[in-house]
Structure 1
């Protein structure tokens, strides 16, 4: 919260966004090991209450509504991308949604160590069942499978503490220069869109490889392998 960029690579996602859903699907399908190491951060449009709190904190939300033409394009595009992945889905109808309901509930689940499981439940409900994930009753229904009190999840948007945490999440969106989702960050590097997931994962891999400490000169003569482990010449490593 002090303005220092996260050392861990981040994945900004929205439970509203079909492109976030597709990126989440690809990430777990192809890069499940990386998924466990990411800093997962929610991106959501604030309601009037959160907007007022955000403005009071000196922030603003970087989002503008889509045009009708873009909305129609997204309908076609998501159907095409989902078909490429062998996914069937039901397009949900959002009526006066309050996006704090599922996203602040996600923060509650993350606090309990069940953040990714919450996203799984929300994705299933929204994109496969066509349910309204902004309905507190729907969110509460995931409590049993997550092992979390459903009322705690459903009431997150009414909890002043969770509202404050939500505002901090919105401020981080602004600080990281996030303008849409899915959005990935690796320190100062930024990747926007489901089609940038591969580039992001490759960048993370390169950074890991470059962070491995080099083997000192002459180390192999001392029995130190190139990967940094020690081989003392005995089959069992003892002796």
Structure 2
């Protein structure tokens, strides 16, 4: 008896410019993505969420990046947004509380309006440079998306949605998610905007000519024993924005 293939997964967040561009590129090239792929939010947890993760025996793999890497990302995202023709205004995050928009997205998903809220939030953040952790910005985004703003705003204090959010981050922990965007297709994993083509190839959505030369096994060519050195050579952050 054949087993049904696991649904492809996409871990995203509302903080990362690479996540924003990857999802936009994905849906431009594969409009069926939201129906075919499971979208799972991933964000920097607050202390309450971290404690709940710890109680489940889980943690948060992402490590904050160094100043040098942050400055590089500022330059890189400017280049990429210009290449893709995306208007971009870099937001300034002052003491952000990422539960606010991400749990709000989970509340919108319960209403069947998560795509609309996501579009409104990314427009606010990446096109207008607004602070989407601000409840008033979140309210305006919900109204723009045609979503009842009250459950979206209340999500951060809703125990059930809090629990759902912890569950999403627990899944990320067990699937070794350390950066965003992070695509998963069966046992194959693809991290970052520059792995979008490989993910689409795995989905079989690119033309055969574009699939030529794609490796059958992503671990092929890695020397034996290299896995034992993980973490031994690079003590900088993983640059989890992707």
TM-score band (shorter)?
A: 0.7 to 0.9
Q: Could you list the per-position Cα deviations for residues 218-237 of structure 1 after superposition, in whole angstroms to 9, with x for gaps in the alignment?
A: xxxxxxxxxxxxxxxxxxxx
1:112 and 1:17 map into 2 onto residues whose CA distance is 25
Greater mean deviation of Cα atoms: 135-144 or 71-80: 135-144
Aligned: 1:71 with 2:70: yes
1:142 and 1:76 map into 2 onto residues whose CA distance is 28
Q: 1:36 corresponds to which residue?
A: 35
1:39-188 alignment runs, 5 A limit = 39-188=38-187
Q: How many residues align?
A: 201
Q: Does the 8 A contact of 1:46 with 1:99 survive in 2? A: yes
Greater mean deviation of Cα atoms: 68-77 or 45-54: 45-54
1:186-201 alignment runs, 5 A limit = 186-201=185-200
2:97 and 2:173 map into 1 onto residues whose CA distance is 20
Q: Could you list the per-position Cα deviations for residues 146-197 of structure 1 after superposition, in whole angstroms to 9, with x for gaps in the alignment?
A: 3332121111111111111111011010111111000000121100111111
Q: Does the 8 A contact of 1:109 with 1:115 survive in 2? A: yes
Q: Does the 8 A contact of 1:12 with 1:40 survive in 2? A: yes
- Structure 1 residue 145 displacement after superposition: 3.5
Structure of larger gyration radius = 1
- Structure 1 residue 36 displacement after superposition: 2.6
1:104 and 1:143 map into 2 onto residues whose CA distance is 13
Q: Does the 8 A contact of 1:27 with 1:35 survive in 2? A: no
- Unaligned runs of 5+ residues in structure 1 are 1-5, 207-239
Q: Does the 8 A contact of 1:62 with 1:178 survive in 2? A: yes
- Structure 1 residue 63 displacement after superposition: 1.2
1:74 and 1:143 map into 2 onto residues whose CA distance is 29
Q: RMSD over aligned Cα, in angstroms?
A: 1.3
SS across alignment from 2:10? strand
- Unaligned runs of 5+ residues in structure 2 are 206-242
Q: 1:15 corresponds to which residue?
A: 14
Per chain length, whose mean CA-contact separation is higher, i.e. which structure has more relative contact order (CA < 8 Å, sep 6+)?
2
- Structure 1 residue 144 displacement after superposition: 2.8
Scaled by the length of structure 2, the TM-score of the pair is 0.80
1:7 and 1:147 map into 2 onto residues whose CA distance is 32
